């Protein structure tokens, strides 16, 4: 026994929890109409994942929850739990007991649980299908659906049979593979389109990269040339600088010396320019001498004159003295004597008048003086005129002569001084004349030498300015090189030029190389630069990176495409394989079912024949909902392209002793028996763990009920049966009978009852 129990709580009329144990092959559920028996069958459908509320006889999920009754409150949730014995691992799960539970809440939310753990519906379906319990519910035949298998179209019938045969799992796999294939093909298209999209970009980038690689090659070449050129240039400039400096140094020194010498010579000559002033001095001294000498002559002349005068005066005095010796014989003028007598009279008169002694004394003194002056006067006039005058004249002349003499002495001194000055000046001028001549000679020599040195220095200077130009040019080239080929170009210091055989050159070989060779190299480099500029590829590294990334992406896409194609191929193969398996299994299954069908059918009807026929039907491709289920007769051609054929199952029956054929011609009871025969046949080929038959025996008469009962007994060997029935015959075969009652509170209740009771209930 696989099915252990069902636990119903809050589901439909089961307002209170009810548990049904199924530990016998056949269990029967009996009860009056409307007591809730079919709700038990629906509880099975519900817990097995039925998604159509309509097929559970409801409109909304809420209709599945106990709605309350008199004195019974409504439930908030409906739950149904099935418990299976899994010791034989009919379910692919490592538990000895498996419970499957479904809960629906008033807010329509649904929960599924396996052994108490929440799972998805998909998990439930998978678990069930591993135990041949299909989602199509073929193992639950609801009330009035006994002939469902007869009424359904060929496709539904095929699905039902596939489900019963356990092929659903393959079908699902196939559907899933088809979906995957569609998705894969979509991905393939996408990847192909992506690759198509990037292909021109890759082509463009490839061209760019080729250009860039060529450019890199050129750059590399140029870098090598730069290294050689820069190193040689630098060594040349260094060497040239050094040699210019070496050559220039003594020249500069010599030049400075010459400057000094020149200055000295110039100084000497400058001094000679003061020659004129010295000449002036000479002239001045000469004129002064002249003046002094003229003065001397005048003085001499004056002195001569004075001496002449003095000697003539001396001569006169001698003559006078000779005259004076004759003077004592001289006669005095009477008048003058009378005049003196008068004066004395006057004086005496004064003294007589006064009579005073002192006065008289004074008058005597005056008379004495008058007499004396008279004598002297007569005497003097003679001297004066002669010797005294002459002597005074001589004295005067001598004084004058003495003055001249002093002046003459002074003039003589001045003359001596001036003469000395003159001769000094003269000799000085002569000396200067000599040194000027030397200085002039030096000047000529210095200037000549200076000119020569200047010429040499100028030569060196022009070499220097050429070198400066070279240096500037080198710096400019270095800058340009770093921009053009990057810093690698500046690493020329690590490089040393070699000859064609790779032998390192000597410094001498480098610096002595004709400059034209460097010029030619520069020219060659210029040509490469122009080619580089013409290449005009910018952002080299970025483009290479982008090309790399894009090709990597393309390679990735190519690989992905390969993988997708492979997986598409393997999916296609799998689909083919599954289709083949489905076809084979289906056909084998149908064959097996047909054997059973025929047996059950003849058992039911006592003869006749019944079989399933594999047929093809036309299906309009356009609409999935509007599937025309027209069976296509073998040999008919498919007319319309938009139609595709689908394999389905038809039923062919022929009753014994009756000419009529086909399902349409069967009576209600005949239909019920046929469908039961088919259901039993299906169940026997691939028995599900349990089968629920809700009043499938309702339409059977007594004789057929017996046959039905026999078939049930046979079937119960393969599957556990839960039979909802009013049929006594059927009840008689059940191990357990559950009676379902509904009280005035509208709640279904369960109780295990005896057969007799059951018969009573059924009645
Ligand atoms: P019959 O023998 O006539 O087929 P039955 O025993 O199979 O009858 P069911 O169809 O199982 O009876 O039960 C129908 C009963 O369940 C009705 O009385 C209906 O009112 C009740 N029922 C259905 N849904 C609910 C619900 N949500 N809440 C309460 N009762 C419900």
pLDDT given for residue 19 in this prediction: 93
Q: Is 12 in the pocket of ligand 1 (CB under 6 A)?
A: yes
Q: Is 143 in the pocket of ligand 1 (CB under 6 A)?
A: yes
Q: Judge residue 33's burial from the number of C-beta atoms within 10 Å of its C-beta, 0-12 exposed, 13-18 middle, 19 or more buried.
A: exposed
**CA 53 and chain centroid, separation:** 61
Residues 478, 223 contacting (CB under 8 angstroms): no
pTM: 0.54
Q: What is the mean pLDDT of residues 737-762?
A: 82
Q: Is the dihedral of CA 362, 367, 373, 376 positive or negative?
A: negative
**CA 734 and chain centroid, separation:** 84
**Which among 10, 13, 73, 725 is the best mutation to test ligand 1's pocket, defined by most ligand atoms within 8 Å of the CB?**
13
**Which among 38, 63, 742 is the best mutation to test ligand 1's pocket, defined by most ligand atoms within 8 Å of the CB?**
38
Q: Look up residue 147 and give its two tokens.
A: 């002939």
**Which among 9, 33, 37, 39 is the best mutation to test ligand 1's pocket, defined by most ligand atoms within 8 Å of the CB?**
39
What whole-number distance in Å separates Cα of residue 22 and Cα of residue 5?
5
Cross-strand partners of 97: 85
What whole-number distance in Å separates Cα of residue 103 and Cα of residue 77?
7
Residues 590, 582 contacting (CB under 8 angstroms): no
Share of the chain above pLDDT 70, in %: 90
Min mean pLDDT across 240-249, 356-365, 465-474 is at 356-365
Q: Is 273 in the pocket of ligand 1 (CB under 6 A)?
A: no
Confidence of residue 326 (pLDDT cuts 50, 70, 90): low
Q: CA-CA-CA-CA torsion for 7, 13, 15, 21, nearest 10 degrees? A: -20
Confidence of residue 677 (pLDDT cuts 50, 70, 90): confident
The CA-based angle 499-500-501, given to 5 degrees, is 90
Rg, Å, the chain Cα set: 83
Confidence of residue 636 (pLDDT cuts 50, 70, 90): very low
Q: Which comes out higher in pLDDT, residue 567 or 151?
A: 567
For residue 472, the CA-to-ligand 1 centroid distance in Å is: 110
Q: Whose CA is nearest to atom 3 of ligand 1?
A: 33
pLDDT, one tens digit per residue, over 486-499 is 888 889 999 999 98
For residue 349, the CA-to-ligand 1 centroid distance in Å is: 223
Q: Whose CA is nearest to atom 12 of ligand 1?
A: 34
Contacts of 118 (CB under 8 A, 6+ apart): 111, 112
Q: Is 96 in the pocket of ligand 1 (CB under 6 A)?
A: no
Q: Whose CA is nearest to atom 17 of ligand 1?
A: 34
pLDDT given for residue 181 in this prediction: 93
Q: What is the mean pLDDT of residues 506-512?
A: 91
Nearest atom (ligand 1) to Cα of 64: 27
pLDDT, one tens digit per residue, over 394-439 is 888 889 889 889 998 998 999 999 899 888 888 888 887 887 888 8
Q: Is 39 in the pocket of ligand 1 (CB under 6 A)?
A: yes
pLDDT given for residue 325 in this prediction: 67
pLDDT for residue 632 is more than 60: no
Query: Taking the CB of residue 329, how many other CB atoms lie within 10 A of it?
Result: 6
Confidence of residue 667 (pLDDT cuts 50, 70, 90): confident
For residue 34, the CA-to-ligand 1 centroid distance in Å is: 5
What whole-number distance in Å separates Cα of residue 154 and Cα of residue 646?
9
**Which among 34, 696, 741, 750 is the best mutation to test ligand 1's pocket, defined by most ligand atoms within 8 Å of the CB?**
34
Contacts of 320 (CB under 8 A, 6+ apart): 386, 387, 390
What whole-number distance in Å separates Cα of residue 675 and Cα of residue 668?
11
Q: Is 67 in the pocket of ligand 1 (CB under 6 A)?
A: yes
Share of the chain above pLDDT 90, in %: 31
Q: Is 35 in the pocket of ligand 1 (CB under 6 A)?
A: yes
Residue of 303, 306, 289 whose CA lies nearest to 412: 289
Confidence of residue 543 (pLDDT cuts 50, 70, 90): confident
pLDDT given for residue 761 in this prediction: 66
Residues 760, 31 contacting (CB under 8 angstroms): no
For residue 448, the CA-to-ligand 1 centroid distance in Å is: 145
Q: Whose CA is nearest to atom 2 of ligand 1?
A: 33
pLDDT given for residue 90 in this prediction: 87
pLDDT, one tens digit per residue, over 46-64 is 998 888 888 888 888 889 9
For residue 714, the CA-to-ligand 1 centroid distance in Å is: 31
pLDDT, one tens digit per residue, over 113-147 is 999 999 998 888 888 887 878 666 677 887 777 67
Q: At what angle do helices 154-164 and 540-605 cross, to 10 degrees?
A: 90
**CA 94 and chain centroid, separation:** 57
CB under 8 A, 24+ apart: contacts of 239-248: 239/507, 239/511, 240/463, 240/467, 240/470, 240/511, 241/467, 244/460, 244/463, 244/464, 244/467, 247/456, 247/460, 248/457, 248/460
The CATH code that applies to domain 3-178+585-613+657-762 is 3.40.50.300
Q: Is 170 in the pocket of ligand 1 (CB under 6 A)?
A: no
DSSP per-residue string spanning 587-623: HHHHHHHHHHHHHHHHHHHSS-EEEEEEEEEEEESS-
Q: Is 33 in the pocket of ligand 1 (CB under 6 A)?
A: yes
Confidence of residue 355 (pLDDT cuts 50, 70, 90): low
pLDDT given for residue 555 in this prediction: 92
Mean pLDDT of the chain: 84
For residue 14, the CA-to-ligand 1 centroid distance in Å is: 9
Residue of 1, 156, 158, 18 whose CA lies nearest to 75: 18
Q: Is 741 in the pocket of ligand 1 (CB under 6 A)?
A: no
Contacts of 144 (CB under 8 A, 6+ apart): 695
For residue 36, the CA-to-ligand 1 centroid distance in Å is: 4
pLDDT given for residue 565 in this prediction: 92
pLDDT given for residue 629 in this prediction: 38
Residues 397, 389 contacting (CB under 8 angstroms): no
pLDDT for residue 6 is more than 90: yes
Please name the helix (run of DSSP H) or strand (run of DSSP E) that holds residue 39, with its range, or none.
helix 37-47
pLDDT for residue 277 is more than 70: no
For residue 739, the CA-to-ligand 1 centroid distance in Å is: 14
For residue 313, the CA-to-ligand 1 centroid distance in Å is: 209
Domain boundaries defined on the chain: 3-178+585-613+657-762, 333-381
pLDDT for residue 684 is more than 90: no
Q: Whose CA is nearest to atom 30 of ligand 1?
A: 13
Nearest atom (ligand 1) to Cα of 724: 7
What whole-number distance in Å separates Cα of residue 24 and Cα of residue 479?
101
What whole-number distance in Å separates Cα of residue 608 and Cα of residue 590?
19
For residue 44, the CA-to-ligand 1 centroid distance in Å is: 15
Contacts of 40 (CB under 8 A, 6+ apart): 6, 8, 20, 29, 722, 724, 740
DSSP per-residue string spanning 45-103: HHHTT---TGGGT-SSGGGGB---BTTBPPPSEEEEEEEEE-TT--SSSS-SEEEEEEE
Residues 547, 240 contacting (CB under 8 angstroms): no
For residue 8, the CA-to-ligand 1 centroid distance in Å is: 14
Q: Whose CA is nearest to atom 25 of ligand 1?
A: 12
DSSP per-residue string spanning 274-290: THHHHHHHHHHHHHHHH
pLDDT for residue 345 is more than 70: yes
């Amino acid at each position: 026994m696989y099915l252990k129990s069902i636990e119903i709580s809050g589901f439909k009329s089961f307002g209170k929890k009810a548990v049904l144990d199924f530990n016998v092959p056949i269990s029967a559920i009996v009860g009056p109409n409307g007591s809730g028996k079919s709700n038990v069958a629906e509880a099975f459908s519900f817990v097995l994942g039925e998604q159509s509320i309509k097929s559970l006889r409801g409109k909304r999920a809420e209709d599945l929850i106990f709605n309350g009754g008199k004195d019974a409150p409504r439930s908030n949730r409906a739950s149904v739990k099935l418990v299976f014995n899994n010791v034989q691992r009919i379910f692919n799960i490592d538990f000895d007991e498996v419970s499957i539970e479904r809960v629906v809440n008033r807010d329509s939310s649904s929960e599924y649980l396996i052994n108490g753990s929440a799972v998805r519906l998909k998990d439930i379906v998978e678990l069930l299908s591993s135990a041949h319990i299909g989602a199509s519910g073929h193992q639950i035949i609801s009330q009035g659906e006994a002939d469902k298998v007869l009424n359904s179209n060929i496709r539904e019938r095929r699905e039902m049979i596939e489900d019963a045969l356990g092929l659903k799992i393959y079908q699902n796999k196939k559907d899933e593979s088809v979906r995957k294939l569609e998705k894969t093909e979509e991905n393939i298209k996408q990847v192909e389109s992506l690759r198509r999209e990037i292909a021109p970009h890759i082509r463009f980038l490839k061209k760019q990269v080729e250009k860039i690689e060529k450019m890199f090659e050129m750059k590399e070449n140029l870098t090598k040339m730069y290294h050689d050129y820069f190193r040689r240039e630098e060594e040349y400039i260094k060497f040239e600088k050094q040699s210019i400096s070496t050559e220039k140094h003594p020249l500069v020194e010599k030049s400075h010396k010459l400057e000094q010498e020149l200055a000295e010579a110039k100084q000497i000559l400058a001094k000679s320019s003061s020659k004129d002033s010295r000449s002036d001095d000479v002239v001045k001294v000469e004129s002064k001498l002249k003046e002094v000498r003229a003065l001397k002559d005048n003085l001499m002349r004056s002195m001569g004159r004075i001496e002449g005068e003095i000697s003539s005066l001396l001569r006169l005095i001698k003559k006078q003295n000779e005259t004076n010796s004759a003077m004592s014989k001289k006669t005095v003028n009477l008048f003058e004597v009378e005049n003196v007598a008068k004066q004395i009279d006057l004086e005496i008169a004064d003294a007589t008048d006064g009579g005073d002694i002192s006065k008289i004394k004074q008058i005597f003194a005056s008379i004495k003086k008058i007499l004396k002056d008279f004598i002297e006067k007569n005497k003097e006039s003679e001297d004066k005129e002669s010797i005294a005058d002459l002597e005074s004249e001589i004295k005067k002349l001598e004084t004058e002569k003495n003055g001249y003499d002093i002046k003459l002495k002074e003039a003589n001194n001045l003359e001596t001084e001036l003469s000395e000055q003159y001769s000094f000046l003269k000799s000085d001028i002569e000396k200067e004349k000599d040194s000027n001549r030397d200085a002039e000679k030096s000047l000529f020599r210095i200037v000549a030498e200076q000119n020569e040195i200047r010429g040499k220095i100028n030569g060196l200077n022009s070499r220097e300015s050429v070198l400066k130009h070279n240096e500037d040019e080198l710096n400019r080239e270095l800058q340009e090189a770093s921009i053009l080929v990057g810093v690698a170009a500046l690493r020329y210091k690590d490089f040393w030029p070699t000859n064609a055989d790779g032998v390192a050159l000597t410094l001498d070989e480098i610096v002595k190389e004709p400059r034209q060779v460097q010029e030619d190299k520069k020219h060659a480099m210029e040509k490469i630069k122009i080619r580089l500029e013409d290449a005009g590829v910018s952002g080299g590294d970025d483009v290479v990176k982008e090309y790399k990334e894009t090709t990597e992406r393309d390679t990735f896409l190519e690989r992905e495409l390969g993988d997708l194609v492979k997986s598409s191929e393997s999916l296609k193969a799998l689909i083919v394989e599954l289709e083949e398996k489905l076809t084979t299994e289906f056909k084998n299954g149908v064959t097996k079912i047909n054997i059973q069908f025929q047996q059950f059918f003849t058992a039911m009807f006592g003869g006749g024949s019944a079989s399933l026929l594999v047929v093809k039907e036309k299906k309009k491709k356009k609409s999935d909902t509007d599937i025309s289920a027209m069976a296509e007769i073998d040999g008919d051609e498919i007319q319309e392209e938009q139609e595709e054929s689908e394999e389905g199952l038809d039923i062919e029956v022929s009753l014994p002793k009756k000419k009529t054929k086909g399902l349409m011609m069967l009576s209600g009871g005949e239909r019920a028996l046929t469908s039961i025969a088919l259901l039993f046949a299906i169940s026997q080929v691939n028995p599900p763990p349990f089968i629920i038959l809700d009043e499938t025996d309702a339409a059977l008469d007594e004789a057929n009920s017996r046959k039905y009962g026999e078939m049930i007994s046979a079937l119960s060997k393969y599957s556990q049966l839960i039979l909802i029935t009013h049929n006594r015959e059927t009840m008689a075969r059940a191990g357990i009978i559950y009676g379902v009652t509904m009280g005035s509170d509208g709640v279904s209740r369960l109780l295990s009852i005896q057969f007799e009771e059951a018969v009573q209930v059924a009645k």
